[in-house]
Structure 1
Amino acid sequence: MDLSAMEQYWIWLSGVEGIGIRRFYRLLSEYGDARAVWDSIGDPGMAFLGARALENLRAARTEERFFRVFSELERLNMRAIPRISEAYPASLHEIFDPPATLYVRGDADLSAERMFAIVGTRRATRDGKRAAREFARTLAGEGVSVVSGLARGVDTAAHEGALEGGAPTIAVLGSGADVIYPPENELLAERILDAGGAVVSEYVPGAEPSKGNFPQRNRIISGLCAGVLLVEGAENSGAMITVNLATEQGRDVFAVPGSIYSPLSAAPNRLIQLGAPPALSGWDILEHYRWASRPAKPAPGAPLPELDEEESTLVTALREQELSFDELCSLGKFPAAKLNSLLTMLVLRGIIVKAPGGLYRAYQ
């Protein structure tokens, strides 16, 4: 990690506990740069920091503390990108309160031309998870880096879909980049890194997740991207914070329409009512940005897979919704052994697919 002296002082100052983004930028405004802050500690003009932050700053002004920052980054195989670095994403310079420093695990390009966010509720329905996964897979299949927050529900499904699609996916955390939250997504985070993606945070390594961090990190999710897709969310969903930030940042907002009777479709349906473009597949987004053209539909009369009556019964049910093995059994049409055989053959023929979570669905 090659950093100039000025970049090192910037990273050191931005990581001092209690300084925060507003105090950090005020210090730079008052003293000119981070090295000058180091040289001026004890100056009466720093009283605006408050007693605790000022004491933390004094305690951090030692060579041992200074160099510990960078040895810890090296130990964690993590890079720090200060805002004054050429590697800092240009798109984040434009937003309100741009993060002072980004801590990054992984190799993904944070300035990639094609970046798009998929967000939604943690309490996603089965259809919501399916939509997030399929949108992400389609976008990633055309080289789009999908950005989300690694949370339960829609975020998790979006990252999984992006991995299936084969493009890097980027997770922005409300904790240190080495503190995966929720813990059950540690394996998913490793898969993201192994596939050339990245785990990103503005919080120092070791920072635990806190309630206030998540709304704050949402400005990074939207800020990195050309646009944001809201898959599911109630009227008061936290995902609406990302949507509102995206609007303030001048990013595009899309929404997945849902049932008027589903509380978790209230937010996207409301956005559509207010003028947000409805998105029915990833191709709607790809075509909007002219990133790719939708594949042509099969010509009329093109041969369809030949299905016998039993196979047709299963495929018809799986075109309507994703179903588990037990749910298919409950249809009462096949013994378990027969059902297993039918499903296996349909998967091998490429007519249905077994999705994450043990659910089956038919290709449309």
Structure 2
Amino acid sequence: MSELLSWLQLTQLPISRRQQHKLLERSGSVTGLFNDVETLAQLQYHCDKRGIELPTKGELYERAQALHERCALLGWSILTSDMSEFPERLLDIPDPPVVLFVKGRSTVLSGPQLAIVGSRKASPLGAKVAHRCAKHLSDWGVSIVSGLAKGIDTAAHQGALEGGSPTLAVLANGPGPVYPRANQQLAEQILEQGGALITENPPGCKLEPWRFPERNRLISGLTLGTLVVEAGLKSGSLVTANLAASQGREVFAIPGALSNPEARGCHQLIKQGAVLVESPEDILSALHRELREFCPVKVQPDLAPGLGDSPLLRFLGASDMTLEELLDVSGLSVRQLQIELAQLELGGVIVRRSGRYFRNN
């Protein structure tokens, strides 16, 4: 408890996250930070130089204790960056959070995840595409991450809820009622189905415009890649995509009609090198290598017990086939076929090129 309160005290210092991390590096531990006379003197000098009042140790402790009690009352847990449950991928980004506030299952933060973002003013087609991609990827074991906003975010969360994996919503506000209020019920459904709500902002913080791009770096940082579905040239979704690229993550974009202004951002991303997506399978293929570490199936067919017995391999033995052709001959449902193909592809038994499946001989 005392160490957790020290982490919360660190977040209450009137300095940036980068400076908070520098203090941690200098002191070696968060508890050592508040007992290091030299570090505290440097902190006081920094605040005096900028005309900022530095809270006393007593004031910091009271604020930290109040934060802890408020989170407990609201049912939110607190993850610090030294905890094993803290998502490892977030530690790789240039500006990681010091703490995360989480409601729901924190274990889902470290699984295979893909961000789906886009316009708040989504077209019916755009919302349908986001829903379809989210559901299919969720069926394949990929958790969908988005920002719980109206439009594409909402469609992505709803599609994921119909799939087989939990979905995660990264909030710009702190623990408490979600923003927008219209998605409070959606947030509750996410929790009921084993997902999580995440924020780096404390309870009661003011929801200001700058918090949204700050939030977006967490959406991209948590995931293996970001899919943009409908985005104007000035959309916040392009900020998320650019952050993903700067973090070394894959960027995907779905093209749209030339007459649709909400497709121009996606077209710009494709020109800049984003992977053009026509179906969810394109994402799975592009992330094939990254997804292998989360797949319990071995990479080589001879090391993957059971995969070599799949009846689908009989159909793919003579020639390559499309998804529709395999549906006709296999007798499987769409979902069953997609799951089996995903397992075979992740296991290295088959490969997919240009919409056709081949045995990996």
Q: Please give the range of the TM-score, normalised by the shorter of the 2 chains.
A: 0.7 to 0.9
Partner of 2:9: 12
**In the alignment, what sits opposite 1:246?**
244
- The SS at the match of 1:254 is strand
Give identity over the alignment, percent.
Answer: 35
Conserved? CA contact 1:121–1:232, under 8 Å: yes
Q: Offset at 1:227?
A: 0.5
Alpha-carbon distance, 1:265 to partner: 0.4
Q: Is 1:296 the equivalent of 2:323?
A: yes
Distance 1:184 1:216 in 2: 22
Amino acid in structure 1 at the alignment position of 2:5:
Q
Q: Deviations over 1:303-348 (max 9, x none)?
A: xxxxxxxxxxxxxxxxxxxxxxxxxxxxxxxxxxxxxxxxxxxxxx
Q: What is the Cα deviation at residue 141 of structure 1?
A: 1.2
Match of 2:91 among 75, 89, 93: 93
- The reply on whether 1:26 has 2:22 as its aligned counterpart is yes
Match of residue 222 from structure 1: 220
Q: Shift of the alpha carbon at 1:260?
A: 1.4
Gaps of 5+ in 1: 303-364
CA-CA distance at 1:117 after TM superposition = 0.3
Q: Residues 1-364 of structure 1: matches in 2 within 5 Å?
A: 5-14=2-11, 16=12, 18-39=14-35, 43-46=40-43, 47-49=45-47, 54-56=53-55, 58=57, 60-62=59-61, 64-290=62-288, 296-298=323-325
Contact 1:179–1:205, Cα closer than 8 Å, also in 2: no
In structure 2, do the counterparts of structure 1 residues 120 and 300 end up closer, same or farther at CA, with 3 Å as the change threshold? Answer: closer
Change (3 A) 1:153 1:301: closer
1:188-224 CA distance string (max 9 Å, x none): 1111111110000011122232100110111111111
Cα distance between partner residues in 2 of 1:156 and 1:32: 42
* Alpha-carbon contact 1:116-1:228 (below 8 Å) kept: yes
Aligned CA distance change for structure 1 residues 301 and 93 (closer, same or farther; 3 Å): closer
Quote the Cα distance in structure 2 between the aligned partners of 1:189 and 1:246. Answer: 24
Rg larger in structure = 1
SS of 1:209's equivalent in the other structure is coil
Question: Are 1:146 and 1:168, in contact at CA under 8 Å, matched by a contact in 2?
Answer: yes
Aligned-partner Cα distance in 2 for 1:214–1:147: 15
Structure 2 gap ranges (5+):
296-311, 313-320, 330-361
Pair 1:181–1:17, CA change in 2 (3 A): farther
CA RMSD of aligned residues (A): 2.6
Aligned residues: 297
CA distance in 2, matches of 1:276, 1:118: 14
Check whether the contact 2:228–2:254 (CA below 8 A) recurs between aligned residues.
Answer: yes
| Cα displacement string for residues 248-296 of structure 1 (whole angstroms, at most 9, x for unaligned residues) | 1110011001111211100111222232221112222123333699983
- The 8 Å contact of residues 229 and 254 in structure 1, kept in 2 or not, is answered as yes
* Amino acid in structure 1 at the alignment position of 2:137: L
- The offset of 1:53, in angstroms, is 5.2
CA contact (8 A) 1:116 1:225 kept: yes
2:46 partner SS: helix
| TM-score in terms of structure 2 length | 0.75
Aligned 8 A contact 2:104 2:196 in 1 = yes
Residue 313 (structure 1) aligns with: none
